[in-house]
């Protein structure tokens, strides 16, 4: 038996993986252990956490449980401010994208934890290549019977979330031709990728029994699907997104996840069956979004109807705007339009590289500037009122 914890409906939690880079060269630096150690005592009483990740070039900042997206984002703001009290004196810069434009995997160090060493031992070259950064959005679900129907319906919107967040056009110094190279790299891990089309919690427990019994994983925390249940927290966790490069974009995408989960929950409350599409369509959509980002054409229903992802996004935003208002995130939700109309981080990175004659150091400088000097969420929301 795997218990799904009690959780308040449609509450939000955020996780944001951040790179640590040398302020002069822009290359990654393995300083996360000392950053995390320096903050351990000071953050013990805070709502946020600052932890290490697989590689020592990464810190993850995590919010507490927020009744709204804004409350969760406030925790993230506080966490970043705390991190900067350590990193600024060390001339370490923070940035975020799905990949670092020019860093090489063989220069990176693995965090000294047994689970990480076991992962690398098992996955070898692919595991050592996991130079990827993402966001994870948790949304509370109050009834375990809703979990897998909602995951199935959310799978239709995986390409939309990937397209909005795509920020990994470069890999190890090369332009990949993909808006989100991270999406295709991450799925190389044995338990990562698209969720299996399970119908209910009993099937999930049977899946875990199979995987634990055959030694594939130790427990449910090693399920690394693009959308997964998080039994410990009582949430659905969306892990499909590249790392967002700015705070307003993080808030916008988080609001879309929250609104979609609440929408599907309401549909179930009304006794309506949630929409699904064939697994082969889900797989194709993931590839299209990874390749083309916001220029992708995606399959939106089981009949095979194809739409430009930006058009379908705008229709979805218009249809679900009342739910965003109910959840007290209308301005964050409206921030999706800025990404749709102006482009995502991948678009901006490619433009910077082209203007710099292909110099990817300039792309890193751009990402550092964007993370540090870009609008705060509060400034961004204020601008929407004028």
Residues 269-296 have pLDDT tens digits of: 999 999 999 999 999 999 999 999 999 9
Calculate mean pLDDT across residues 62-69.
96
Q: Contact 376/77 with Cβ under 8 angstroms? A: yes
Radius of gyration of the chain (CA): 20
Answer whether residue 381 is part of any domain.
no
Higher pLDDT, residue 379 or 329: 329
Please give the share of the chain, as a percent, with pLDDT higher than 90: 87
Residues 289-322 have pLDDT tens digits of: 999 999 999 999 999 999 999 999 999 999 999 9
d(CA 370, CA 253): 17
Answer whether residue 2 is part of any domain.
no
Answer whether residue 7 is part of any domain.
no
* Residue 133 pLDDT > 60: yes
Q: Contact 150/229 with Cβ under 8 angstroms? A: no
* Residue 383 pLDDT > 70: no
- Residue 175 confidence (pLDDT): 97
- Residue 375 confidence (pLDDT): 46
- Residue 84 confidence (pLDDT): 96
Answer whether residue 318 is part of any domain.
yes
- Residue 117 confidence (pLDDT): 85
Answer whether residue 384 is part of any domain.
no
Kindly report the CATH number assigned to the domain that includes residue 88: 3.30.590.20
Answer whether residue 4 is part of any domain.
no
* 36 membership: H or E segment, kind and range: helix 32-39
Q: How confident is the model at residue 386 (pLDDT cuts 50, 70, 90)?
A: very low
Answer whether residue 5 is part of any domain.
no
Answer whether residue 179 is part of any domain.
yes
* Residue 260 pLDDT > 90: yes
How buried is 329 (Cβ within 10 angstroms: 0-12 exposed, 13-18 middle, 19+ buried)?
Answer: buried
Q: How confident is the model at residue 44 (pLDDT cuts 50, 70, 90)?
A: confident
* 161 membership: H or E segment, kind and range: helix 158-165
Higher pLDDT, residue 114 or 366: 366
Q: Which tokens hold the place of 249?
A: 């974009």
* Residue 257 pLDDT > 60: yes
Q: Contact 17/167 with Cβ under 8 angstroms? A: no
Domain total in the chain? 1
Average pLDDT, rounded, for the chain:
94
Range of the domain at 146: 12-376
């Amino acid at each position: 038996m795997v218990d799904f914890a009690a959780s308040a409906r449609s509450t939000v939690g955020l996780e944001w993986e951040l790179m640590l880079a040398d302020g002069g060269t822009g290359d990654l630096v393995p300083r996360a252990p000392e950053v995390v150690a320096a903050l351990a005592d000071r953050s013990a009483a805070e709502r946020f956490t600052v932890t290490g990740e697989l590689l020592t070039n990464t810190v993850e900042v995590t919010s507490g449980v927020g009744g709204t997206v804004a409350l969760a984002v406030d925790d993230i703001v506080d966490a970043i401010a705390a991190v900067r009290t350590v990193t600024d004196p060390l001339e370490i810069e923070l940035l975020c994208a799905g990949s670092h434009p020019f860093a090489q995997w063989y220069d990176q160090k693995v965090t000294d934890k047994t689970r990480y060493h076991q992962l690398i031992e098992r996955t070898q070259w692919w595991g050592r290549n996991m130079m990827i950064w993402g966001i994870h959005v948790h949304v509370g679900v109050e009834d375990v019977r809703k979990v897998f129907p909602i995951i199935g319906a959310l799978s239709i919107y995986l390409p939309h979330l990937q397209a909005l967040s795509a920020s990994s056009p470069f890999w190890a110094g090369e332009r990949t031709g993909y808006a989100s190279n991270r999406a295709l790299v991450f799925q190389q891990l044995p338990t990562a990728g698209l969720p299996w089309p399970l119908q209910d919690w009993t099937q999930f427990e049977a899946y875990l029994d199979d995987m634990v019994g055959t030694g594939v994983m130790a427990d449910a925390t090693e399920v690394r699907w693009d959308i997964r249940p998080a039994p410990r927290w009582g949430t659905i966790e969306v892990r499909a997104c590249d790392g967002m490069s700015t705070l307003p974009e993080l808030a916008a995408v988080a609001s879309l996840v929250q609104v979609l989960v609440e929408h599907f929950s309401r549909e179930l409350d009304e006794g309506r069956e949630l929409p699904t599409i064939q697994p082969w369509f889900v797989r194709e959509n993931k590839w299209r979004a990874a390749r083309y980002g916001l220029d992708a054409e995606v399959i939106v229903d089981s009949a095979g109807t194809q739409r430009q992802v930006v058009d379908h996004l705008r229709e979805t935003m218009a249809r679900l705007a009342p739910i965003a208002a109910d959840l007290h995130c209308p301005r964050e939700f409206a921030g999706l339009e800025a990404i749709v109309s102006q482009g995502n981080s991948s678009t901006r990175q490619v433009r910077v590289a082209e203007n710099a004659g292909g110099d990817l150091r300039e792309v890193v400088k751009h990402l550092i500037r964007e993370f540090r000097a870009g609008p705060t969420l509060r400034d961004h929301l204020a601008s929407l009122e004028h």
